[in-house]
Structure formats: structure tokens, C-alpha cells
Structure 1
Amino acid sequence: MELHSPREAASFALSLLDLTNLRDDCDDAAIETLCTRAQTPYGAAAAICIWPRFVAHARGILGHGHKVRIATVVNFPGGDLPVASVVEETRQAVEDGADEIDLVIPYRKLMAGDEQAVTDMVEAVRAACPQSCLKVILETGELKDASLVGRGSELAIAAGADFIKTSTGKVSVNATLEAADSMLRAIRASKKRIGFKPAGGISTVADADLYLRLAESTMGPNWLMPSTFRFGASSLLDDILGVLSGAPASRASTGY
């Protein structure tokens, strides 16, 4: 894939978008709006990403077999719940209709040197949702160190992740190109079909294009597709729609 214009980048980013509402004040009406916004005149987002308590409501709106998938978050955002609680949260989300599970690792334990805690959490949640896409959130802005981001990526991949994801969007530093580089290198080294999801701080087509170019330069041509790459964002859709409708593209910026 080679993008030649902001419009092409916008169209492609739309197909890779996990349109997100993880606001504390989210309610049923906001979920209905999100489901509607995910289906645009220019095509559909890949998924919506929402709190577990809204999964059943979203499934009722979208029905079964819809092109827009339903992703939800577990062990979110702190990454510090007991494994048994996260497993139950996961099972309930799948029962309610979630297609995809975005799991926060116990990143503070990883920072303290407890790698086994990461493995145990990911393996347990993987077993609880064997048919679901499992995206594992590293919270790279808290891990900070590139070697630790790389090691977290390796542990998540080895324990059964389908995707590795940068961030919750709930801390001061979320997706960065530096973290993305470490994670993509870990994916490449694994020689497995693992996806990558940058999340938080991606609000313009220009932002998105930087990540698309990095991923393609690291992973090679034809790697980028919804089964291997997603954006986690709430405001990116506004700029995508603006570009696709003919408005000037915004410059790269920050903000979830």
C-alpha cells in the first residue's frame, strides 16, 4: 500500500479505525450515536471500542454479523485487577456480544520486573475468549523505556495476543512513534501474524499517516489491513470525514 494523497490516507484510515468512546460519562444514547457515526457515507469503521457495560446495547443496535465489530476493554484502565476478575469480565463481554477484547496488562508489575504476571494475565484471558480477537494494551507511556516496551510486546505475543496496542488513552503519554517502532520490531521478529494498534493522541489524518508509513516501512508492503492494523481514536473520524468531503487536512496534533 502506498498512499499518495491525504484523501487516500483518510479513506484507508477509516477502514482501520476502532471508533472509541471510553469516556466516564458515556451512556446508552452516546453508544447509539457511536454506532451511527461508525457507518459513514464513505464506508464503515472497523469497530467501535466501548466499556463492557454497553456491549449488549451495542449488539442490539448492530445485530449479528455486522461489518462494524464490537470491541471492549478489560482490566481497564489501571491493569491491576485480579486475574479471576478479568477472566469473568472477559467471559461476560463475550456473552454480551463482544467480538474483540482489549486487555490491559499488569504493566506496573512488569515495570517492577514481574514478567510472569503479564504472561499469566494474557494466557488466562486468551483462554477465556478463544474465538475473539485479543488486543493486549501495554500502556507504553508508563513503561517509557524502549527495551521494556519491546519486552512487554514479546511477552504479550508469546502468551497469545492477536494484536498489541500502545495505550489506554487514560494516561498523560499515549501512542508515540517511538513506542510504535519498538512494538512493530517485536512483531516482525516474532514471525507471527500479529496486529498493531496505536491508540490515544491520534486525531488527524496527518497523525494517522505517520503511523501507516512507519508500519509499512517496518513490516513491508501489503501488511496493512484491518486484521493487522487498527487505530484507537475518538476524534480521528472528524478529520477523516473532513478530508473525504473536501476540507483541507489538519496538521498532525495530539489528543485522544
Structure 2
Amino acid sequence: MNRVCESDEEVALKALGLLELTSLNADDSPERIIALCERALTPVGNVAAVCVSSRFAGLARRTLDTLRAREVKVVAAVNFPSGGASIAMAESEVQSALQVGVDEVDLVYPFHAQLAGNKQIGSEMIAACRAKCGQRAMLTVTLETGVLRDPQIIHSVCHTSIREGAAFLKTSTGKQIVSATPQAARILMEAIAELGSQVGLKASGNVRTLDEARSYLEMSQARFGTGWLQPERLRLGANSLLDDLLAHLGVRP
């Protein structure tokens, strides 16, 4: 496999521009969200996005706008982290997020219902939330691959998500024992390639080091080409990764 870049510094700079920083904790506070947004702006460039709960999405957007970082996307997580089966509740969260000007909505797929044999609810929920988003926001579908586990189930859910209008497929919420794995990412990429879609990939959770980030960049480049290494196609959801990238770029905390 060809390496993405010639040096660690080049890889670190590329990966930094693909980062999606998150704060999705029950005890999140306005101060924590503001700090997250400030952290998204580094001396060597800005990250791609910040992902927060819908209740803090407006604050995140206002903070980034005040910092003159309109290009940093604000992603609102909905149906998080449980992946419940209530379409009405998911729609309500999406509507609230849209009202405060988010760029993207991140919907956790109803994975428990899928495993219980309800294969229709996921399709209906994605379609409903995609209709709510319209042209105002892109829709990510988080699959929680570490819980779905079975490659055939993951593959099937990927196809459903793409058919119903997902702009990104995301490996996991980062809240389960098993989060992003190269194996899961390959399944998602295969589904994207099979449908000839322009859907992107988000590898989230368990991406902590430059070498781990490099593996996802190289995997993506090998499957889709160098042009895919853009935040519109590939994101790395990993807060701890930022420190390692900055260290390789000579930026002290």
C-alpha cells in the first residue's frame, strides 16, 4: 500500500484537517463546549468539525462564528447514545438542531431494534430525519458497529443508510466497548463503493495516535484515491488524537 504522505508531519497536518472533535457527555457544560470550540482552532490549522449534543449546538455555532471559524462545521448528535426506536423523538431533536443553524446532524441508528429483528425501523427513521434536514444540513448515520458486530448485518445497514440519504456513515458513538476498527471501516467503505455513492466515512472512537490515523488515511486512499482525503469524504472522530498530531507538528500544549 502506498503511504499517504512522505513524513509524519505531512500526515499529521492532513489528519488534523479531518478531525471531528466531540463533547457528548451527560455532564457537559457551556464552558466545556466553548473550550472545545476554542480547541478546534490550532496554530497550524483548524479541525473539520465539532460534534455536540443538540442542546449545545447553538452555543457551538455562535462560539465558532465569534472566533471567525465559520468553516468549522457544527454537528448535532441525535438519538444519542442509546439508538432508541422512537422516530418522533429523533425528528424532534433534528428539528431543534436545525433551528439553531447546525451544518450536520448525526443520527444514531436504532441498533437495538435491528438486533431484535426490526429491520424496517432504521430505514423509516433515516428517511424521516433526512426529510427534516432537507437542504439545510447533511445527515450522518452512526451504525454502532461494535454492537452490531456481524459483518453481514453491518453491510446491510450500510446499504439501508445510503439508500435513505445518508451523507456519511459513522462507525460508532465511541460510547461502547468496541468503537472504530479497521475491519468495520472496510465494511463501510465496501458498501459505499458498491452503491457508487458519494457518501463519506467517519471513523470514530479508538483513534488516538498518528499511526492509527495514518492507517485510516491509507485505507481510504487505497480504496477511493487521494481525492477522498478531504473532510467532505473522511473524518476522524477522536479528541485525544489532536494532542498527538500537534506534538508531531511541534505545537506544545
Give the TM-score category using the shorter length: over 0.9
Cα shift at 1:59: 1.9
Give 2:203's aligned residue. 198
Q: After the TM superposition, which residues 1-256 of structure 1 pair with which residues of structure 2 at under 5 Å, given as runs? A: 2-63=4-65, 66-131=70-135, 132-245=137-250
Q: Could you tell me how far apart the structure 2 residues matched to 1:101 and 1:205 are?
A: 27
Per-residue deviation, 1:105: 0.7
Are 1:115 and 1:155, in contact at CA under 8 Å, matched by a contact in 2?
no
Unaligned 5+ residue runs, structure 2? none
User: Which amino acid in the other structure matches residue 191 of structure 1?
Assistant: G
Is this contact kept in 2: 1:15–1:43, CA < 8 A? yes
Partner amino acid, structure 1, of 2:176 = V
Contact 1:199–1:231 (CA<8 Å) still a contact in 2? Answer: yes
Residue in 2 aligned with 1:252? none
Match of 1:254 in 2: none
One-letter code aligned to 2:76: T
Secondary structure, aligned partner of 1:230: strand
Secondary structure (helix, strand or coil) at the match of 1:196 reads: strand
Structure 1 position 216, deviation (Å):
1.3
Q: Percent identity?
A: 40
When structure 1 is superposed on structure 2, of 106-115 and 181-190 the one drifting more is 106-115
The 4+ residue runs of structure 1 with deviation greater than 3 A are none
- In the alignment, the residues of structure 2 paired with residue 205 and residue 102 of structure 1 have an alpha-carbon distance, to the nearest angstrom, of 25
Compute the TM-score of the two structures, normalised by the length of structure 1.
0.93
Aligned residues: 247
> How far apart are residue 183 of structure 1 and its match?
0.5
**In 2, Cα distance between the equivalents of 1:104 and 1:62?**
25
TM-score, normalising length from structure 2? 0.94
Whole-Å Cα distance in 2 between the matches of residues 224 and 111 of structure 1? 33
